[in-house]
Amino acid sequence: MNVPLREVLCTHCGAPCQWDGDAPNITCSYCKRSFLVGQPPPVNPAMQSGGGGGSGVMIFAIVGAVLLLLVCGGGAFAFFGLRSPSSVPPIAVTVTTPAMPAMPAMPSTASSGSDVAKEVLSFGDEGNGAGQLTDARAITVDMDEDIYVADYDTARVQKFDPSGKFQWIIEVPKNSMSGDKNIWSLVVDTKSTLWVARTGDLLEFASADGKTKGTVKGDYDTTWFQGLAIGPTGNMASFHSAAGDTDLLLLEPSGKVKKRIKNVSGKSLAMDGANNVYVTLEYADANIEVYDATGNLKTRFGSKKDVHTKGAGAIAVDGKGHIFIECDEGLNALDAGGAYLATIPKAPPVRSLAVSAKGNLFVLSNAAKVIKYELGPTLK
């Protein structure tokens, strides 16, 4: 049975405390000292010293008047001008209430925005000119944090330096069979090759100047490439999505398929330094699956009921085991096992994510903005 609590004042500091009506002693949650219930609360020193002289004289006068009435009875009314008690003017009484000490501020356990991530760069503008973006949906960065962004259906890829200054722009060729020019994703390897996953094929360009280096032709029935992720050793992963199939493909650095995992319908994918592949799922009970370098399923986590992973789309991973996902809740950081760590503060709606070798997080927003975040102590 729950006993209702009563509020009593601490006899040391005057702060309110909760008492169950049974325990003879209470420890104050503010001054941390114990006191016996029933003792009077602290009195304002001004009422015990000359500092409260005005109040003391007034109270003394009131007490004297009451005694005079009791001793003299009705004769006392003559002393006050023979007026009845109802006609006696009220006497002003000044009462000094003991001041309640200020309660100490309780420390906050919530992480501030700067403890999670800090925005250090933002640039971008909508348009079809050089340096402008039109329905951009893919971003990647190289070892020097040069930034590459691709429009989805204009076939344009652009490079910006680490400060966001425009460097060059190219237009990739259409697929020779279907005529598609949609760019799903792009990555840069450590040998200065920019790989572009344009519907059906993987296109190679020199990251320095955008010049064409080669093409890995896709096959509609087996390797209709869609999406791309890369590890530090050059191994890649992609989706095959055509002919009624939705498979996960593990690729050698040359683009040759070395492993096919059937029936993996994914939205986005990423790779870590151990060549583990992280996939956000399209039609599944779990939201994220992780495969090892040989294609074996390691773990799956998240669900439609998990607010921190529900609606997971764009994904990126860093070298310290952090997983970054765009989801219904916002831009969230998870640990390697899928446990929620934090939400990136004030992050915009996300189209694509990338993490640099220096551990910085890059976001491509749906408003044609590129934003760079430095991770704070919470995610270091």
DSSP string, 206-266: ETTT--EEEEE---TTT--EEEEEE-TTS-EEEEEEETTEEEEEEE-TTS-EEEEESS--E
Strand order in the sheet with 193-198: 183-188, 193-198, 201-206, 212-216
Pick the closest to residue 259 from 291, 218, 221 (CA basis): 291
- Asked whether residue 16 is assigned to any structural domain, the reply reads yes
Distance CA 135, CA 352 (A): 12
Q: Secondary structure of the chain: what % helix, strand, coil (to 5)?
A: 10, 40, 50
Same domain, 28 and 68: no
Domain finish residue from 44, 71, 87: 87
Q: Quote the pLDDT of residue 40.
A: 52
pLDDT tens string, the chain, 380 residues long: the values are 555 677 777 776 677 777 777 777 777 766 667 767 665 544 444 333 334 444 443 443 444 443 443 444 444 333 333 333 444 444 443 444 444 444 444 333 345 577 999 999 999 999 999 999 999 999 999 999 999 999 998 999 999 999 999 999 999 999 998 899 999 999 999 999 999 999 999 999 999 999 999 999 999 999 999 999 999 999 999 999 997 889 999 999 999 999 999 999 999 999 999 999 999 998 877 899 999 999 999 999 999 899 999 999 999 999 999 999 999 999 999 999 999 999 999 999 999 999 999 999 999 999 999 999 999 999 98
Same domain, 196 and 340: yes
Burial code (b: 16+ CB inside 10 Å, e: under 16) for 109-131 equals: eebeeebbbebebebbeeeeeeb
Same domain, 167 and 80: no
Pick the closest to residue 237 from 223, 305, 172, 245 (CA basis): 223
Q: Quote the pLDDT of residue 100.
A: 45
Same domain, 128 and 214: yes
Q: Quote the pLDDT of residue 69.
A: 39
Residue 339 CA: distances (Å) to CA of 40, 306, 307, 310, 334: 51, 11, 12, 13, 5
Same domain, 272 and 207: yes
Same domain, 261 and 314: yes
- Asked whether residue 97 is assigned to any structural domain, the reply reads no
Same domain, 71 and 148: no
Q: Quote the pLDDT of residue 212.
A: 97
Same domain, 18 and 77: no
CATH number, position 180? 2.120.10.30
- Asked whether residue 41 is assigned to any structural domain, the reply reads no
Q: How many domains does the chain have?
A: 3
Same domain, 304 and 171: yes
Same domain, 166 and 81: no
Q: Which pair of structure tokens corresponds to residue 102?
A: 């200020």
- Asked whether residue 99 is assigned to any structural domain, the reply reads no
The structure tokens 């200054």 sit at 165
Same domain, 72 and 159: no
Same domain, 143 and 287: yes
DSSP string, 315-339: EEE-TTS-EEEEETTEEEEE-TTS-
- Asked whether residue 373 is assigned to any structural domain, the reply reads yes
- Asked whether residue 98 is assigned to any structural domain, the reply reads no
For residues 221 and 243, is the Cβ–Cβ distance under 8 A?
yes
- Asked whether residue 96 is assigned to any structural domain, the reply reads no
Range of the domain at 27: 6-36
Q: Quote the pLDDT of residue 207.
A: 98
- Asked whether residue 46 is assigned to any structural domain, the reply reads no
Distance CA 364, CA 349 (A): 9
